[in-house]
Amino acid sequence: MWTATRELSVFAPIADRSTLELRLAAINDALAKDVASTEPFAPDAVPDVHFMRFVIIPDDELGDLLAWEVNYDGELEPWLARVAEVPGIDRIFECCVGYPGTRKRDDWMLWMLEHRIRAAAFYCAYPGVPRKEIVNDLAVRQRLRELADAQRPALERLPPHEIQRRLYEGVTADARLQSSVILDEDLRWFFSRVAAVLVGLIILPFLLAIVVFWWFWALLRAERDDEVAPPPKHAVHTAAELAALEDKIRQNQLTHVVDIKPGVFRAFTVRTVLYVIGALAGVFYVDGHLGGITSIHFARWVIVNDRRDVPRSQRRDRIVFFSNYDGSWESYLGEFIDRASMGLTAIWSNTVDFPKTKLLMFQGATDEESFKQWTRDHQLVTQMWWSGVRDSTVQNLRDDIWLRRRLAASLDDDERALWLQKL
Phi, psi of 287 (to 5 degrees): -115, 25
Cα 145 from chain centroid (whole Å):
30
pLDDT (mean) for 182-211: 57
CB 362 within 8 A of CB 370: no
112-126, 157-171, 186-200, range with the lowest pLDDT: 186-200
Confidence band for 298, pLDDT divided at 50, 70 and 90:
very high
2-16, 232-246, 395-409, range with the lowest pLDDT: 232-246
Convert the pLDDT of each residue in 206-252 to its tens digit: 666 666 556 666 787 788 877 766 666 555 556 788 988 899 899 99
Phi, psi of 85 (to 5 degrees): -85, -10
Cα 27 from chain centroid (whole Å):
22
pLDDT at 178: 75
Q: Which domains does the chain have, with CATH numbers?
A: 5-119 (3.30.70), 131-184+393-422 (no CATH), 191-387 (no CATH)
What predicted TM-score, i.e. pTM, was given to this entire model? Answer: 0.90
CB 254 within 8 A of CB 247: no
pLDDT at 2: 47
pLDDT at residue 400 greater than cutoff 70: yes
301 CB contacts (<8 Å, ≥6 apart)? 119, 120, 121, 274, 277, 319, 320, 321, 347
Separation in Å, CA 369 to CA 65, 229, 232, 330, 372:
30, 12, 7, 11, 5
pLDDT at residue 117 greater than cutoff 70: yes
Closest CA to 286 of 168, 196, 172, 173: 196
Angstrom distance (rounded) from CA 411 to CA 419 = 9
Percent of the chain residues past pLDDT 90, beyond the cut = 60
- Helices 413-422 and 160-172, interaxial angle, to 10°? 50
CB 223 within 8 A of CB 358: yes
142: amino acid identity, one letter: Q
Percent of the chain residues past pLDDT 70, beyond the cut = 85
pLDDT at residue 280 greater than cutoff 50: yes
Highest mean pLDDT among 38-42, 144-148, 183-187, 387-391: 144-148
Closest CA to 398 of 251, 295, 278, 247: 295
